[in-house]
Amino acid sequence: MGMDLLSNLALGFQTIISPQNLLYCFLGALIGTLIGVLPGIGPVQTIAILLPTTFALPPVSGLIMLAGIYYGAQYGGSTTSILVNVPGEASSVVTCLDGYQMALQGRAGAALTVSALGSFVAGCFATFLIALLAVPLSELAFRFGPAEYFSLMVFGLVGSIVFASGSPLKAIGMILLGLLLGMVGTDVTSGVQRFSFGIPELADGLGFVPLAMGLFGISEIVKSLERREKREIIKSRLSGFWLKKKDIKEVTPAVARGTFIGSFLGILPGGGAILSSFISYMVEKKVSRNPESFGKGNICGVASPESANNAGAQTSFIPLLTLGIPSNVIMAMMAGAMMIHGIQPGPRVISSNPDLFWGVIASMWVGNFMLVILNLPLIGIWVKLLSVPYRILYPAILLFCCIGIYSINNNVFDIWLTALLGFLGYLFVKLECEPAPLILGFVLGPLMEENLRRGMLISRGDPSIFFTRPLSLAFLIMAFILLIVIAVPAIRKKREEAFREEA
Amino acid sequence: MYIKNSKDFKAGLLFIIFGTGAAFSARLYSIGTTAKMGPGYFPFLLGLILTILGILITLKSLSREKEIKKKIPLRIRPMISVLSSIVLFGLLLYPLGMVLSSFILVVISSMGSDEFNMKIALLNALFLILGILIIFVYFLQFQIPILPSFLRGRI
């Protein structure tokens, strides 16, 4: 086992160390940070916008670059949280609380450093954890029958409701809508065309990229154009990147706590970066000797959630890579990207594409290292980017999106589809329907149907198969408990408060 | 009965429309049996659940008391300019080529901003097209029509 782990990691490092892959890892981290820093664009939008650029690459390089984009964008999000009090995404909301306060007190440099180093430490640990858990978990997954898979997906989808802001009922509706959109195209089992309305471009199903870009990219742009925002950029010179001895002593246990919390929560469905950062902030405040200093620039309030969200972001790859189940939107994006590259995420990836699997894992470590090197010296450039006016930025994003979408199939139909889905996404924004559960449903839809059909075929039409197999039953019970938890008024109130703070 | 939460009310209606639409069109495909599900089975089921959920959400959004709400003015300019610029880009890409249709996309989408300024939009377009030509066409070698169709193949 120990030897296996080492040789596997060695294979991974061999893959990543090739000049081409190193270059794409670097490019991913760089471009991800660049776009992630731009106002109003978080990791989800960044990945949606940049998906097509990775399709021309070989699968390993493409996925390494995408993973790099992901960390980069997340890192960029933390930077804007600290410097302008604008969280790039939900998981850096808590970073704003103390990070921006630190910046106001002239300690922006220290906040940025601690966030970079904390993320790096957490990333290393999480990468190691993935390598450790991947093989046993994927072996477990091989014992899954259709019933277990179906129930696991139910659990995963219910998990996505927890972190959709707004009404849980609407989130369930969005999941169902996503599952239905996933049905568009040719039914694999019977060869029948479903919901394609005689449009030949829909025969292969609704495109993942137009959906992701429409729902997250285009609708976000329209939303931002509707409200005028004033951003205050810290004018003072950035200095003092080095941490004081006292800071290091204070921060080390916080980073460790954040890393553990994040690594654990990232594995759970619906978890990942967001949940991790919220919980770790709460824990940090609880264990602190002076909890009243939180929200006023406590360095632990930056260190712990930043470590946690990076650890969580990384360990959320575990369910995707070993079970084939994306646990959050970004993993759904990665799943979509893998499928476009012709790789079905799941337990088979380890054995059929070992270089890809271990290469991507090793690239996480390398990518995080590059981010530390990249970000601290380049922070001045990132700050300048923040002042790019939106009226110049968004036409550029739109153009980039259009050309990217066209290039996937050399087809203008996808461009119109994106406009249509952008309109739908805008409608969802107006009706306060979170699009994340929809994307998850869309990715899981065909898989869920296939496993439901196979399960029912095996049991000759008896649905009890889902309740009599112990693992399947366990997943369903967990899903049920999660639903109850969401429905209980007290918890719901807490959850709504958390989202209100975010807004 | 009054509508207490118009967002939930409309979202519910949206789900009902999608749900019934899906359920009805799924009936066109064979439903099959529970043991041997046809292509219509799962979508029909989903459509049905979505419809019921939509009804539930709609009903929950109603209340007996009237609530006074201030109306938020709907701003359609950003939406129209952004969406139409994308549709136009799709329409014009083949006849006009990437350079001209990008120009149109940037200018029209820029009009959606409150701070629209023709000079800046034009400069932005020029700069972006140059960037696209260098990054996408020269380096990434994207296959995309660049010039208008009547000029293609002649230069």
CA distance A210 to A216: 10
**Which one is predicted more confidently, A46 or A154?**
A154
CB–CB contact A394 B109 (8 Å)? yes
**pLDDT band (50, 70, 90) for residue A393:** confident
CA distance A20 to chain B (A): 15
The interface predicted TM-score of the complex, written ipTM, equals 0.92
**Which one is predicted more confidently, A408 or A416?**
A416
pLDDT tops 80 at residue A39 = no
Q: Which CA distances in Å does B56 have to A413, B49, B50? A: 36, 10, 10
pLDDT tops 90 at residue A418 = yes
CA distance A230 to chain B (A): 13
The pLDDT, as a whole number, for residue A268 is: 77
- Four-residue CA torsion sign, A341, A343, A344, A346: negative
Give me Rg for the CA atoms of chain B: 24
Taking contacts as CB-CB distances below 8 angstroms, the residues of chain B near A416 are 86-87, 90
CA distance A69 to A427: 28
Residue pair A425/A213 in contact (Cβ under 8 Å)? The answer is no
Most confident of the following: A310-314, A349-353, A465-469: A465-469
Q: Which of A188, A206, A225, A448 to mutate to test the interface with B (most CBs of B within 10 A)?
A: A225
Residue pair A300/A250 in contact (Cβ under 8 Å)? The answer is yes
**Three-state secondary structure readout of A323-378:** HCCCCCHHHHHHHHHHHHCCCCCCCHHHHHCHHHHHHHHHHHHHHHHHHHHHHHHH
CB–CB contact B42 A460 (8 Å)? no
Crossing angle for the helix pair B6-26 and A168-181, nearest 10 degrees?
30
Arithmetic mean of pLDDT, A246-264: 87
Arithmetic mean of pLDDT, A179-193: 88
Which position has the token pair 């959050």? A328
**pLDDT band (50, 70, 90) for residue A384:** confident
Tokens encoding A320: 């995707």
Q: Which of B79, B123, B136, B140 to mutate to test the interface with A (most CBs of A within 10 A)?
A: B79
The pLDDT, as a whole number, for residue B136 is: 79
Taking contacts as CB-CB distances below 8 angstroms, the residues of chain B near A461 are 33-36
Residue type, A33: T
- Four-residue CA torsion sign, A235, A237, A241, A242: negative
Long-range contacts from A148-151, C-beta under 8 angstroms, 24+ separation = A148/A469, A148/A471, A148/A472, A148/A475, A149/A447, A149/A451, A150/A448, A150/A451, A150/A452, A150/A455, A150/A466, A150/A472, A151/A466, A151/A471, A151/A472, A151/A473, A151/A475, A151/A476, A151/A479
Which position has the token pair 């901003």? B113
CB–CB contact A430 B7 (8 Å)? yes
Which position has the token pair 């992901």? A70
Taking contacts as CB-CB distances below 8 angstroms, the residues of chain B near A54 are none
Half-sphere exposure of residue A466: CA atoms within 13 angstroms, side-chain side: 22
Residues 362-421 of A with CB under 8 A from B: 389-392, 394-396, 398-399, 401-403, 406-407, 410, 412-413, 415-416, 418-419
**pLDDT band (50, 70, 90) for residue A501:** low
pLDDT tops 50 at residue A503 = no
Burial tier of A260 (Cβ tally within 10 Å: 0-12, 13-18, 19+): middle
CB–CB contact B50 A167 (8 Å)? no
Arithmetic mean of pLDDT, A148-162: 86
CB–CB contact B112 A176 (8 Å)? no
CA distance B65 to chain A (A): 21
pLDDT in tens, A43-89: 777 888 888 888 878 888 888 998 888 888 888 778 877 887 766 66
CA distance A150 to A286: 39
Tokens encoding A191: 């060869």
**pLDDT band (50, 70, 90) for residue A419:** very high
Arithmetic mean of pLDDT, A282-302: 83
CA distance A449 to A454: 9
pLDDT tops 50 at residue A301 = yes
pLDDT tops 50 at residue A41 = yes
**Which one is predicted more confidently, B3 or A148?**
A148
A433: nearest CA partner in chain B: B11
**pLDDT band (50, 70, 90) for residue A422:** very high
Per the prediction, chain A carries an average pLDDT of 83
Q: Residue ranges of the domains in chain B? A: 2-63, 77-139
Arithmetic mean of pLDDT, A151-179: 86
**Which one is predicted more confidently, A120 or A382?**
A120
CA distance A471 to chain B (A): 22
Residue pair A60/A356 in contact (Cβ under 8 Å)? The answer is yes
CA distance B62 to chain A (A): 15
pLDDT in tens, A102-128: 888 888 888 888 888 888 899 889 888
Q: Which CA distances in Å does B34 have to A142, A201, A447, A460, B31? A: 26, 31, 17, 8, 9
CA distance A230 to A233: 10
Residues of chain B with pLDDT under 50: none
CA distance A273 to A100: 20
Residue type, A299: I
Tokens encoding A140: 């477990």
Residue pair A314/A278 in contact (Cβ under 8 Å)? The answer is no
- Nearest neighbour of B89 by CB, restricted to A56, A221, A402: A402
pLDDT tops 90 at residue A411 = no
Q: Which CA distances in Å does B33 have to A201, A397, A453, A462, B36? A: 30, 48, 10, 11, 5
Taking contacts as CB-CB distances below 8 angstroms, the residues of chain A near B103 are none
Arithmetic mean of pLDDT, A394-411: 87
- Nearest neighbour of B86 by CB, restricted to A226, A389, A419: A419
pLDDT in tens, A343-372: 888 888 888 888 888 888 888 888 888 888
The pLDDT, as a whole number, for residue A237 is: 55
CB–CB contact A391 B113 (8 Å)? yes
